[in-house]
Amino acid sequence: MNTLTIRCISEALSPITHMQGVSGNEAMIAREPVTTAHGTQWIPFLSGNAIRHRAIREPGVLWLIQAYGLKGIISLAELNFLMHGGNLTESNRAEDTGRIAEMYRTWPLLRLLGGCLPNQILAGSLDVWRGVLVCAENTSVLCNDFGLRDVGLRPSEQWIDGYQYTRSDAKGRALHQTADAGLFPDKKSNTNLMIFNGQCVTRGAVFAHGFTCKAVSDLEIGALLWSLRLWQAGGGTIGGQASRGHGRLKMTLIMDEVLDQDGLCRSYVSHAMSLKDEAVAWLHGAFA
């Protein structure tokens, strides 16, 4: 067991719309306060929780559900546990160490992420760093945590833009698309196109983030790396508007030590498949 730190640099290949709320009818990007020489500035960021779910839990768990043949046969409680960490819904009894040990053995990914069984909290071993926008206001944290040099970074506001879309209208398509002729015979009906808009971080922006794996084995490291690869292969999206091409990140890993990443991924996949029946049995037993 050891502790591993992985630093990441992720470039936005499309506008990033990691949202925090609305102002009027405009969706606003998530920002955090940063103290600078010019006072407190509100700077765009990616939450660690969003990175944890989109880049690790979701791709890693969906792969396991497919590989274990669980699609359509697991309960809602089991699915919530795997996909979202579960909920403590019953009285918290004395800790069942045997159940924890069996989960660690059969589900290395859950050893990383942790979660809640109906009557027991299972601690994880992964800390996920928030995504820090590479900009002038974040120079100190970029230099200290990522070893980047202050080379005249651009102010954060130069990375912020807006978007505006109009929802499609069935009448227009039916009237102008030959293939859809006759779908909508009433040409006198009114149409009402909905316009929606919001803020985004522009393409080309870079976020610095990372992961700290505490007291983990090679299997947990392999589970993390495999999940990140699945996420990147699936488009590497985060935030909203992914269906419109937003949120794509190209991630580069910066390791504190040289690792055989391909070998770690192969070992994890082999381990996960060799314990398929035991892993499924543990899941069903935990929610019996």
Contact between residue 199 and residue 162 where contact means Cβ atoms under 8 Å apart: yes
Contact between residue 222 and residue 21 where contact means Cβ atoms under 8 Å apart: no
- Cα(105)–Cα(100) distance, integer angstroms: 9
DSSP string of 138-155, one letter each residue: GHHHHHHHH----S-PPP
pLDDT of residue 273: 97
Domain boundaries, the chain: 2-158+201-286, 164-197
pLDDT along the chain (288 residues), means of 10: 88 87 76 87 93 96 96 92 85 75 94 90 92 91 81 87 72 54 57 74 94 94 97 92 85 88 96 96 90
DSSP string of 35-49, one letter each residue: EETTEEEEEEEE-HH
Residues 6+ apart with CB under 8 A from 266: 222
* Angle between helices 218-233 and 58-67 in degrees, nearest 10: 100
pLDDT of residue 150: 67
pLDDT of residue 234: 94
For 167, the token pair is 């929802």
pLDDT of residue 178: 53
